[in-house]
């Protein structure tokens, strides 16, 4: 069974006559008849009968045609996929992000990316950093953004951002009157802390211990956005990643510099041992553009 034989059979089934099929295929009628006859011999099926001078497909032909159509639809899908790969590097891209950027910087990057790649499908999932790492390491996602406390074995990685942490203070709190919050200022203050495994939390604990400062931790959470929300409810003071704040209600939360400076580190993760497609390179560029614009807005 050869492709040309199947193509001739399919075209006859669609057109209804050998002459029309020949016109569509750009060959002679005898060539179409020969290809169909060869298909019949190779399959052992009788595909057409002549009834009153016209070709009539047999029940076997109808059954075969159903499977042939399914195969040709698959070929059309492959052609479309090849076109997307040629034009964009792939037809879809899958992004996994930690929470601090998953609702702010990454959506900004996606907006810029889809403007220049309108036919590309983008998947975004927001997970804890460890899950992001596992998704990328397994090859299920093309790009990941994760905090630096993860085990980076099994993934390619590079530092993507190192924002300076800010002290979030409830509006009306006495610390809001200060321009800089120092470790000693948190002594005996109600404090909303990041999770103990967070590298910023560990660095903060060391600085507090060195300063002899012992805040009263009332809540622990892994997410800066949750810290900010709890601070806005007046529960306590906390350190937040500025990337996570987005549309934070600044009437309820006051942000101040914290000393000594603490920086969160976000890693860009890629599956191991794979060359970057044009699509992946394009999305990384979009992430960098979004990051740079974010910094410009912070400086204004």
Whole-number Å distance between alpha carbons of 156 and 121: 24
Q: Do 234 and 111 share a structural domain?
A: no
The answer to whether 197 touches 149, Cβ cutoff 8 Å, is yes
Q: Do 175 and 221 share a structural domain?
A: yes
Q: Do 279 and 215 share a structural domain?
A: no
Closest CA to 287 of 136, 91, 97: 97
Whole-number pLDDT of residue 147: 93
Return mean pLDDT, the chain: 89
Whole-number pLDDT of residue 86: 58
Q: Do 199 and 148 share a structural domain?
A: no
pLDDT tens string 81-92: 666 555 544 468
Whether residue 185 has pLDDT greater than 70: yes
Domain boundary among 64, 88, 112: 88
Max distance between CA atoms of the chain, in angstroms, equals: 103
Q: Do 271 and 156 share a structural domain?
A: yes
Whole-number pLDDT of residue 207: 95
Whether residue 78 has pLDDT greater than 70: no
More confident call, 76 vs 203: 203
Q: Do 223 and 76 share a structural domain?
A: no
Whole-number pLDDT of residue 247: 77
Q: Do 230 and 150 share a structural domain?
A: no
Domain boundary among 88, 114, 142: 88
CATH number at residue 39: 1.10.10.10
pLDDT tens string 43-69: 888 988 888 767 888 988 888 888 888
220: tokens are: 């622990």
Q: Do 218 and 71 share a structural domain?
A: no
Whole-number pLDDT of residue 89: 45
CATH number at residue 242: 3.40.190.10
Q: Do 172 and 234 share a structural domain?
A: yes
Domain boundary among 54, 88, 122: 88
The answer to whether 132 touches 112, Cβ cutoff 8 Å, is no
User: In the predicted model, what is the mean pLDDT of residues 114-136?
Assistant: 92
More confident call, 296 vs 28: 28
Name the pLDDT band for 77 (thresholds 50, 70, 90). low
Whole-number pLDDT of residue 68: 86
The number of domains in the chain is 3
What predicted TM-score, i.e. pTM, was given to this entire model? Answer: 0.68
Q: Do 15 and 84 share a structural domain?
A: yes
Q: Do 224 and 278 share a structural domain?
A: no
Q: Measuring CA to CA, how many Å separate 122 from each of 98, 125, 133, 178, 281?
A: 17, 10, 19, 44, 14
22: tokens are: 């020949």
Window from 39-53, 82-96, 175-189, 234-248 with minimum mean pLDDT: 82-96
Whole-number pLDDT of residue 195: 92
Kindly state the percentage of the chain with pLDDT values over 90: 58
Strand order in the sheet with 253-259: 180-182, 253-259, 166-170, 237-240, 190-194, 216-221
Q: Do 221 and 194 share a structural domain?
A: yes
The answer to whether 264 touches 165, Cβ cutoff 8 Å, is yes
Q: Phi and psi dihedrals of 41, rounded to 5?
A: -65, -40
For the chain, how are helix, strand and coil distributed in percent, rounded to 5?
A: 50, 25, 30
- H helix intervals, the chain: 3-15, 18-25, 29-43, 59-88, 99-102, 105-116, 129-137, 199-211, 224-232, 278-299
The boundaries of the domain holding residue 206 are 166-259
User: In the predicted model, what is the mean pLDDT of residues 194-198?
Assistant: 91
């Amino acid at each position: 069974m050869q492709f040309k034989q199947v193509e001739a059979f399919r075209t006859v089934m669609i057109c209804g006559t050998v002459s029309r099929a020949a016109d569509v295929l750009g060959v002679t009628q005898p060539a179409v008849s020969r290809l169909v006859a060869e298909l019949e011999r190779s399959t052992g099926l009788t595909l057409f009968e002549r009834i009153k001078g016209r070709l009539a497909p047999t029940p076997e032909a109808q059954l075969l045609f159903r499977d042939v159509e399914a195969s040709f639809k698959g070929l059309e899908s492959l052609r479309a996929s090849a076109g997307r790969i040629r034009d964009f590097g792939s037809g879809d891209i899958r992004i996994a992000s930690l929470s601090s950027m998953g609702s702010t910087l990454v959506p900004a990057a996606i907006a810029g990316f889809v403007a220049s790649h309108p036919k590309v499908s983008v998947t975004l999932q927001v997970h804890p950093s460890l899950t992001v790492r596992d998704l990328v390491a397994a090859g299920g996602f093309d790009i990941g953004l994760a905090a630096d406390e993860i085990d980076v074995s099994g993934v390619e990685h590079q530092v993507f951002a190192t924002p300076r942490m800010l002290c979030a203070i409830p509006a009306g709190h006495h610390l809001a009157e200060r321009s800089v919050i120092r470790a000693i200022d948190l002594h005996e203050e109600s404090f909303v802390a990041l999770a103990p495994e967070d590298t910023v939390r560990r660095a903060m604990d060391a600085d507090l211990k060195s300063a002899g400062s012992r805040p009263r931790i009332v809540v622990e959470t892994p997410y800066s956005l949750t810290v900010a929300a709890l601070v806005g409810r007046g529960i306590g003071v906390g350190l937040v990643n500025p990337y996570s704040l987005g549309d934070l209600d600044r009437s309820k939360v006051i942000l101040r510099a914290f000393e000594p400076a603490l920086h969160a580190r976000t890693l860009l993760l890629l599956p191991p041992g794979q060359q970057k497609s044009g699509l992946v390179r394009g999305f990384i560029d979009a992430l960098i553009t979004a990051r740079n614009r974010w910094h410009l807005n912070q400086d204004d």
